A and B are shown apart, each in its own frame.
Chain A
Amino acid sequence: MAVDVATGLKTGGAGRGARAVRLSTADRITLTVMVVVPTAVVGVFIWFPTVASILLSFTNWDGIGGVGTAHWIGTRNYHEIATIYPPFWPAVEHNAIWLAFLTVVATPFGLFLAYQLDKNIRGTRIYQSIFFLPVVLSLAIIGFIWQLIYSPTEGLINNLTGNASSTHVIDWLGNPKLNLWAVLVAVGWRHAGYIMVLYLAGLKAIDPSLREAAAIDGAGEWHAFRTVVFPALRPINIVIVVVTVIEALRAFDIVYIINNGRNGLELLSVLVTDNIIGEASRIGYGSAIAVILIVISIVPIIVFVWNSFQERDV
């Protein structure tokens, strides 16, 4: 995600507000190509399928035999999903818990780390590198690595705490009351580092005189943070919130690797793939879940876009 930390330091403008310039034909052609080609690619491969998903969600297509075999059934898929599809509401709940965990635990922890490491103590570079390391790992790899820790009989935790016999184990990944939290720890491990880096940049961009002034005032560190630093981070905070929400909605790889997203690890994204990619092939049904995902995602997307364009000098 991009972060525009330039709010406090708006540099000189570019071509904005430039007087209208007459363009030669060659220029017009070049500009047209420059705009049309990328737009076409994104339009055909992202937006067209998005619209198609929405349309398909109102059909009962099973994916075989061409789109012509699909039948329009109105909102029946949605009705079934909401009433008789057992994993749906748990999935919504899990996505919500995921979001809450990231917002309340992982993100503040990242902010905390950023704040401490911003103090330029000895070794700060090394600490930053260590905390950021999980971010470069794919969630699939993170799933594999953490399974070694959580495995009931062969994992690190159970063996260290003596819970690894065949008659009594703590079933971190198989117990539906525990496994979501176990996975969230692994995800938070990664998310915190990501947030930390974003906040570090934000902290650097804060006018130092502001913080000096707060320090001179003699107010406690927490007070200074609350009244000076945090408000100054407002532009970043909005982005952080959006990033957190998007990550919560996108979560897929790690639960898929662990147990295909069942038994306590249901997520909306996994339900979509279950119905579409598995042997099931209930394309219309899966598309309906995908549309629900779209609808939920629209809100943070709009917030992000709105915010980004507020900061620009359009």
Chain B
Amino acid sequence: MTAEAVATGARARAKRKRMAMPRVALHGFLLVTAILWLAPVGWALFTSFRPYSDTQAHGYVSIPHTLSISNYRHAWSQGQIPQHFWNSMIIAIPAIAIILLFASMIGFVVSRFSFWFNVPLLIFFMAANLLPQQVIITPLYELYLRINLPTWISGSGLLYDSYLGLIVVNVAFQTGFCAFVLSNYMKTIPSSLSEAARVDGAGVARQFFGIILPLCKPALAALATLEFTWIYNDFLWAVVLMSSGDKRPITSSLLNLQGQYFTDNNLISAAAILVALPTILVYALLQRQFISGLTLGANKG
């Protein structure tokens, strides 16, 4: 916001303060709600530090007699957390790069030029993002089984059960949203800049890479944060399109911990916390980007 808007807003808010509901009640309500809000995660955290023997002996709602990080150690090794996390990275990072590239290309074309196909193109992309995943799952699966890849790209020789396969489906599924956001964002870049570049003899490619993209850094950062969270949290694509247990990304690997013969709630809490940790960290560190990506602020960050 501009400084002026901030000042006006602050004055308005100061005025409203005097007329709002009693502050105490509001604070009380927010405090209680916030505590209740954190309770589920807090409970999982609490359970995760209790050894199974402790909860077996005294129940889950009890003062712990011992606390340990043994559940985390087990989850780490039995759940093969490092490996699955690495799988998630192998999928997410290239996917994010490609998504942003594709989305900014589409955004660029649609916002800087007025072709007849601009609107249909955007619809084409946006609607793809809004479909429920189950709608395409079977033909996609059959398609994947039929696309051959050299084995140095995919261990299985097919697009199925390969990292590339998951990268591709995430790219296809998420590009629409980012294209829309970036096209709106790019429209706010004054045309005078492109004009100047054109006059200087810069071709379209140079305009794109040299001028427009760098100016989009805040939006790109915001989208990257969002996409990381969404791709990391993906469940269905991985469960259906990746059959090798050890190549699965991390969210779908949680299923492995619900064993056939033994369901250890403490272990699962520790595993859930471990799996959730990266997204929580990303959010904590990049909260601003995260939220701005969601809201597509009218101002340029």
CB contacts (< 8 Å) of B298 on chain A: these are 5-6, 8-9, 11, 205
Tell which of B23, B122, B240, B283 touches A133, judged by Cβ atoms closer than 8 Å. B283
Is A23 an interface residue, CB under 8 A from the partner? Answer: yes
CA distance A289 to B83 in the complex (A): 36
Contact call B204/A14, Cβ cutoff below 8 A: no
State the CA gap A59–B123 with chains docked (Å). Answer: 30
With both beta carbons as reference points, the residue of chain A lying nearest to B110 in the complex is identified as A35
Chain A 104-125 per-residue mask, 1 if CB under 8 angstroms from chain B, else 0: 0000000001001101111100
Which B residues are in CB contact (< 8 Å) with A290?
134-138
Q: How far is the CA of A291 from the CA of B132 in the complex (A)?
A: 11
Chain B binding site: helix, strand, loop or mixed by DSSP? Answer: helix
Tell which of B33, B190, B254 touches A141, judged by Cβ atoms closer than 8 Å.
B254
Once the chains bind, are A14 and B125 in contact (CB under 8 Å)? no
Majority SS at the chain A contact face: helix
Closest to B189 in A: A14
Q: Are B296 and A5 in contact (CB under 8 A)?
A: yes
Instruction: Output the nearest chain A residue to B30 by Cβ-Cβ distance.
Output: A127
B150 cross-chain contacts in A, Cβ below 8 A: none
The one of A15, A49, A272, A286 in contact with B194, judged by C-beta atoms closer than 8 angstroms, is A15
Chain B interface bracket (under 10, 10 to 19, 20 to 34, 35 or more): 35 or more
Contact of B176 among A8, A42, A200, A268 (CB under 8 A): A42
Chain A minimum-CB-distance residue to B13: A120
Residues of B within 8 A of A121 (CB): 23, 26-27, 30
Give how many A-B residue pairs fall within 8 Å (CB-CB). 354
CB-nearest residue of chain B to A18: B191
Tell me how far the C-beta of B216 lies from the nearest C-beta in chain A, rounded to whole angstroms: 12
* Closest-CB distance, B64 to chain A (whole angstroms): 14
Cβ-defined contact, A133 with B41, below 8 A: yes
Asked, given contacts A2-B177, A23-B204, A67-B142, whether A35 binds B282 with beta carbons under 8 Å apart, the answer is no
CA of A251 to CA of B198 in the docked complex: distance in angstroms? 48
Distance, CA A181 to CA B184, complexed state (A):
38
State the Cβ distance, B48 to closest chain A Cβ, in Å. 10
With A17-B114, A49-B137 given, name 20 new contacts (CB 8 A).
Answer: A13-B191, A14-B111, A15-B191, A42-B124, A53-B138, A56-B138, A119-B13, A122-B27, A130-B37, A132-B283, A141-B251, A148-B40, A148-B265, A201-B297, A221-B21, A269-B134, A272-B137, A277-B240, A312-B184, A312-B187
Residues of chain B touching chain A, judged by Cβ–Cβ distance below 8 Å, are: 1, 5, 8-13, 15-17, 19-21, 23, 26-27, 29-30, 33-34, 37-38, 40-41, 43-44, 47, 55, 59-61, 102-103, 105-106, 108-109, 111-114, 117-119, 121-128, 130-140, 142-143, 168-169, 171-173, 175-177, 179-181, 184, 186-191, 194, 198, 203-205, 208, 229, 232-236, 239-240, 251-252, 254-255, 265, 268-269, 272, 275-276, 279-280, 282-284, 287, 290-291, 294-299
